[in-house]
């Protein structure tokens, strides 16, 4: 994709990877609109980056998507790039009967990008060039059993991205998948942000932006740290899955919700 001169919408743009991407693209001279549920966080991010815009959007709520798209179509008719970054990740105990987490995760992580893309598609297709960028996860390829629905939504989003890319072949829209590893963000709270086992956010952003700049026709943006997960099926997958999950389940047992 071209790296400047775009009008870019980034969901979940107030914190973490979303904010980092927003600030990186903003520095390159793009018009950047960040979207999310927390107006205070969005406002603080926009004020810290003069010229950045923001709009309230809950990707887990179809009415919120419709309202935001009306606003975006009116104010930003040249919108040509959307980054589907918003997501939630929570531990689940599948021996229980509470499915609220699963419903919310599917609505936000999977249905949100599908519905938002559909609503934005007429305007995106009017632009001479642009991109739809999905943010999946290395866990789409080697799931973490503690967060089963999150991993399932990211695997589904990867599959959907492939189909979208195929259907966009004859248009000016590029379809790109970012596949982060475990990164120091607040996705699962302060512990993750401080976890020395996670990739520092600044390092992830620097490597990702470098790959976007040097691989203008790339379809999957894979930093080196995520490749063991992305290509896990090429090795001893069953053993890797068991070893990884046994270790994490033991280390984080206290974080698991109890049975209902």
Helix (H) or strand (E) holding 113: helix 112-125
Tokens for 115, please give them: 């519905």
CA torsion angle 223 225 229 234 (round to 10): 90
Active site residue 150: yes
Rounded to whole angstroms, the Cα distance separating 82 from 117 reads 8
Rounded to whole angstroms, the Cα distance separating 31 from 84 reads 16
Rounded to whole angstroms, the Cα distance separating 9 from 69 reads 11
Helix (H, G, I), strand (E, B) or coil at 89: coil
Rounded to whole angstroms, the Cα distance separating 143 from 241 reads 8
Catalytic residue among 141, 150, 182, 204: 150
Q: How far is CA 75 from CA 31, 69, 243, in A?
A: 12, 10, 50
Helix (H) or strand (E) holding 114: helix 112-125
Q: Which residues are catalytic?
A: 150
């Amino acid at each position: 994709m071209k790296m400047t001169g775009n009008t870019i919408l980034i969901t979940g743009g107030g914190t973490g990877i979303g904010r980092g991407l927003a600030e990186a693209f903003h520095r390159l001279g793009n018009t950047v609109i960040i979207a999310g549920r927390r107006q205070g966080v969005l406002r603080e991010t926009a004020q810290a980056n003069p010229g950045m815009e923001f709009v309230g959007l809950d990707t887990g709520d179809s009415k919120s998507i419709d309202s935001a798209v009306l606003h975006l179509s009116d104010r930003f008719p040249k919108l040509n790039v959307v980054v589907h970054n918003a997501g939630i990740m929570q531990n689940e105990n599948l021996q229980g009967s509470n499915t609220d987490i699963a419903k919310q995760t599917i609505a936000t992580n999977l249905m949100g990008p599908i519905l938002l893309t559909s609503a934005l598609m007429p305007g995106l297709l009017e632009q001479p060039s642009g991109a739809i960028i999905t943010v999946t996860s290395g866990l789409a390829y080697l799931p973490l059993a503690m967060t089963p629905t999150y991993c399932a939504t990211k695997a589904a989003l990867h599959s959907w991205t492939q189909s979208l890319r195929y259907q966009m072949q004859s248009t000016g829209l590029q379809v790109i998948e970012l596949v982060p590893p475990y990164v120091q963000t607040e996705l699962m709270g302060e512990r993750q942000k401080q976890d020395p086992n996670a990739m520092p956010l600044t390092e992830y952003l620097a490597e990702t932006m470098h790959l976007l700049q040097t691989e203008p026709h790339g379809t999957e943006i894979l930093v080196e740290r995520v490749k063991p997960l992305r290509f896990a099926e090429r090795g001893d997958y069953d053993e890797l899955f068991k070893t990884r999950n046994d270790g994490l389940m033991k280390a984080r047992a206290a974080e698991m919700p109890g049975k209902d």
